Amino acid sequence: MAHEVADQERILASPWSGGQSPFAVGWPKLMMWLFLVSDTLTFAGLLAGYGVMRISLGQWPRQSEIFNLWLGGGMTFILICSSATMAVAVAAAKSGDRKRVTPCLLATVFGGLLFLAGQYYEWSHFIHEGARLFSNPWGVPQFSATFFITTGFHGAHVTGGVIYILITALRWARGRIQPESIEIAGLYWHFVDLVWVFIFTLLYLI
């Protein structure tokens, strides 16, 4: 009996104690994390499908020669920068540095818009060269299909994120929200950056 009590105390002191707030974060933040985990599975499905097609076909156009590496690299750079400004906005909101939050959020929105402009340029260039959803001049129809679907899905996430952060910035400027809301918007934006890391690696570089 005695050791059971000791066991219980040990569990209560561990990260698995449960209780009122088992994860030691508020429910909105926990829900955002769970959404991001499930959204990861969506993108993992798209990228795995791409991998299966590419491996099983055995032939694939040299992506690093078709896409402009510096444009892709530049878009990666922009997204990393906007992620950094978002991180600063979250830190500023949490540490009470209120006046720095809105400019950082707007810088993040600007970065997102620049990224979308880069993607618009890339898509229109690619379409101009003859790429369509189910056909392209490079011989492997799946090549343009995976490109349009995967980057399109990611671009939709960026668009959603730009709108989300813009609304968050406006609401923060009017004093309607707490720092936790900035943090949650930040989690979403960093996730968009995180997904781009893998899309850039798998669809542009390899």
Partner 1 sequence: MTDKAHEGGYKIYLVTWGWLLAITLLEIGIVLVRLPKAILVISLIILALMKAALIMAYFMHLRYERLNLIYTVVTPMFFLAIVLFAMIGPDALHVFRSR
Which chain residues interact with partner 1 by CB under 8 A?
A: 15-16, 22-25, 30, 33-34, 36-37, 40-41, 44, 48, 51-53, 55-58, 64, 69-70, 73, 76-77, 80-81, 83-84, 86-88, 90-92, 95-97, 100, 183, 186-187, 190-191, 193-194, 197-198, 200-202, 205-206
Closer residue to partner 1 (CB): 114 or 127: 114
Closer residue to partner 1 (CB): 34 or 117: 34
* Min separation Cβ 86 and partner 1, Å: 8
Closer residue to partner 1 (CB): 86 or 165: 86
CA distance 153 to 198: 13
CA distance to 16, 59, 89, 116, per residue, from 69 (Å): 46, 21, 30, 17
Angle (CA) 56 57 63, round 5°: 115
For the record, the structure tokens of 48 come out as 């795995």
CA distance 106 to 134: 38
Closer residue to partner 1 (CB): 131 or 195: 195
* Min separation Cβ 155 and partner 1, Å: 19
CA distance 154 to 75: 13
